[in-house]
Amino acid sequence: MTRVRFAPSPTGYLHIGAARSALFNWLYARKVGGKFLLRIEDTDLQRSTDESTRSIIEGLEWLGLDYDEEKVFQSDNADKHRAAARKLVDEGKAYRDFTPKEERGDANVKQDIADRARAHAAEGIDHRSNPFRDLAKDESDRRAAAGEPFAIRLKVAREGASHFADIVYGDQDRAYSEIEDLVLLRSDGHPLYNLSVVLDDIEMGITHVIRGQDHLTNTHKQILIYQALGAAVPQFAHLPLILAPNKAKLSKRKHGEVVSLTTYRDRGFVPAAFRNFLALLGWSPPEGKEILSKEELIEAFSLEAIGRANAVFNFHENDPRHWTDDKALWMNAEYIRTMPLDELLPMVKEELRAEKLWREEYDDDEREWFSNVVDLIRQRFFTLKDFSSQGRAYFSEDFDLDEAAVRKNILKEAKLRELLPQLATRLDQVEPFTAANAETALRTFAEETQQKAGLFINASRTMLTGQSVGPSMFDVFEIMGRERSAMRLRSQRPWNEFQV
């Protein structure tokens, strides 16, 4: 039985890269009929928060990624991890290191490491040398018993090499000489990441580890731990990273909310659309068809079809029209205008509710009307937010008139101030009030007044919706209804609100 897991650390929001890892794990599990498990890696107690755990779970739920079995909190297993480390010492596969802990500033760790390595190389120091590696067991036991603090390090073989075949990246080899004796347990008794993941993965019976490529080289160390523990080594599949437009690592600090999954929910993404978009980052469907439902994704998915080059997540944070990847936006628009209306309606309802535009009638007497409006206006919307912003005039009298639209379509022609109310009067007499009849009335009126129909059409659009763009005007008349249409045509707002 295939068992995979998603193992995020709850230190902030759910990153889209992590979300994609979760997606791929989930797709693989569903594809092969295995289990998709969730483990919260909260060993870093200072940085882990319950709020973050909640947002991760919400994020998975939003994407439609259901997990099997009970979720595991890594911190619950700390005792087992400690015990395992001690056992390795007893077996001589690990040793106590009594070297005092070296404090590291969190700021430029990477730089420190590189500097240290350079210095060691210059001085000809073998970075693997450790005076405690070969300390006699009884001496080590004695010092430990005396209360001297120590860390536990894995004893890495001096000769040989580690090898594994990554499903995505292929054969991976690493000489043991490149691997330091890694710390398993901190001197304060805290188990470290590499030990914890391995132990938990063993306990959870994980058969395939699917995770970010940033763990590719760490995998050799983890395999060493599996071997020391005498456990079976799972299969590994590493995923290419998702990078920022400048090809730098996508980070919370530098890139802000675009990398947070919740942003997409809050800014009106349809879950299926974002899931679809995410699936296309690093993976491509064999048939070339890119719009794929959940079921189609599962059907088409395979680890072998995952690429090896990092993907760039293209966004322009200061451009409201392109605040996130263009393709993601397009995908969302595509879903909004083509998905079954029944599935879209509840999402629009939520959006209107949040913006206090929802009326219970839409679920009752005006259900059909509501459904028609949504179907009419969804054609040119990009996000669910558009229903309450650009679509506001359909649901409320309290909507803004776009100044540019008013100037272009109304104020430019002074005579409209007289003509629009006359047009309203014509519409009062249309029966039944359908798009076709409204059109006839408007065109007749245009002929009689010797104006172009377009003048009235565009002016009407702005009067009724506040905007210069939108659906076919006669459909708008019909959906707005006679009363509202006539009333808005008689409105003096353009002249009251803007200087002519």
Partner RNA sequence: GGCGCAUUGGUGUAGUUGGUUAACACGCUGCCCUCUCAAGGCAGAGAUCACGGGUUCGAGUCCCGUAUGCGCUGCCA
Does position 99 bind RNA by CB under 7 A? yes
Q: Which residue in 18, 37, 95, 325 binds RNA (CB under 7 A)?
A: 325
CB of residue 224 to RNA, shortest distance in Å: 13
Q: Which residue in 144, 167, 243, 345 binds RNA (CB under 7 A)?
A: 243
Extract long-range pairs of 433-441: CB within 8 Å, 24+ residues apart: 433/477, 433/478, 433/481, 433/482, 434/478, 435/472, 435/474, 435/475, 435/477, 435/478, 436/474, 438/474, 438/477, 438/478, 438/485, 439/474
Does position 468 bind RNA by CB under 7 A? yes
Sheet containing 3-6, strands listed edge to edge, beginning at the edge strand earlier in sequence: 3-6, 35-40, 72-73
Q: Which residue in 59, 234, 268, 471 binds RNA (CB under 7 A)?
A: 471
Nearer to RNA, 84 or 311 (CB): 311
Report the b/e string of 300-333 with b at 16+ CB within 10 A: bbebeebeeebbbbebeeeeeeebbbeebbebbb
Q: Which residue in 51, 158, 165, 217 binds RNA (CB under 7 A)?
A: 217
Q: Which residue in 37, 88, 97, 423 binds RNA (CB under 7 A)?
A: 97
Q: Which of residues 71-90 bind RNA (CB under 7 A)?
A: 74
Q: Which residue in 240, 268, 391, 466 binds RNA (CB under 7 A)?
A: 240
Q: Which of residues 343-362 bind RNA (CB under 7 A)?
A: none
Nearer to RNA, 50 or 363 (CB): 50
Q: Which residue in 19, 154, 209, 216 binds RNA (CB under 7 A)?
A: 216
Query: Please, what is the end-to-end C-alpha distance for the chain in angstroms?
Result: 74
Nearer to RNA, 213 or 491 (CB): 213
Torsion, CA 282, CA 283, CA 289, CA 291, rounded to 10: -70
Q: Which residue in 50, 64, 90, 118 binds RNA (CB under 7 A)?
A: 118
Nearer to RNA, 171 or 364 (CB): 171
Residues 176/160, Cβ–Cβ less than 8 Å: yes
Which amino acid, 72?
V
Does position 249 bind RNA by CB under 7 A? yes
Q: Which residue in 37, 151, 352, 430 binds RNA (CB under 7 A)?
A: 151
Tokens of 393: 């005039």
Q: How many CB atoms lie within 10 A of CB 175?
A: 11
Nearer to RNA, 314 or 434 (CB): 314
The 365-384 contact track toward RNA, x by CB under 7 A, reads: --------------xx----
Does position 33 bind RNA by CB under 7 A? no
Q: Which residue in 83, 90, 109, 481 binds RNA (CB under 7 A)?
A: 109
Calpha distance 87→34 (Å, rounded) = 32
3 state DSSP class of 100 = coil
Does position 101 bind RNA by CB under 7 A? yes
Contacts (Cβ under 8 Å, ≥6 apart) of 241: 17, 212, 213, 214, 249, 250, 310, 311
Calpha distance 9→39 (Å, rounded) = 9
Residues 8/71, Cβ–Cβ less than 8 Å: no
Does position 326 bind RNA by CB under 7 A? yes
Contacts (Cβ under 8 Å, ≥6 apart) of 465: 393, 394, 399, 476
Nearer to RNA, 15 or 294 (CB): 15
Which are the catalytic amino acids? 252
CB of residue 295 to RNA, shortest distance in Å: 20
Nearer to RNA, 1 or 122 (CB): 122
Does position 214 bind RNA by CB under 7 A? yes
Contacts (Cβ under 8 Å, ≥6 apart) of 406: 462, 494, 497, 498
Nearer to RNA, 229 or 312 (CB): 312
Q: Which of residues 280-319 bind RNA (CB under 7 A)?
A: 280-284, 288, 290, 305, 307-314
3 state DSSP class of 97 = strand
Calpha distance 96→94 (Å, rounded) = 7
CB of residue 252 to RNA, shortest distance in Å: 13
CB of residue 319 to RNA, shortest distance in Å: 11
Does position 252 bind RNA by CB under 7 A? no
Q: Which of residues 160-199 bind RNA (CB under 7 A)?
A: 169-170, 172-174, 178, 180, 182-183, 186-188, 190, 192-194
CB of residue 361 to RNA, shortest distance in Å: 27
Calpha distance 419→378 (Å, rounded) = 31
Q: Which residue in 31, 44, 71, 407 binds RNA (CB under 7 A)?
A: 44
Ramachandran area for residue 440 (φ above 0: left; ψ -120 to 50: alpha; else beta): alpha
Q: Which of residues 411-450 bind RNA (CB under 7 A)?
A: none
Q: Which of residues 120-139 bind RNA (CB under 7 A)?
A: 121, 127
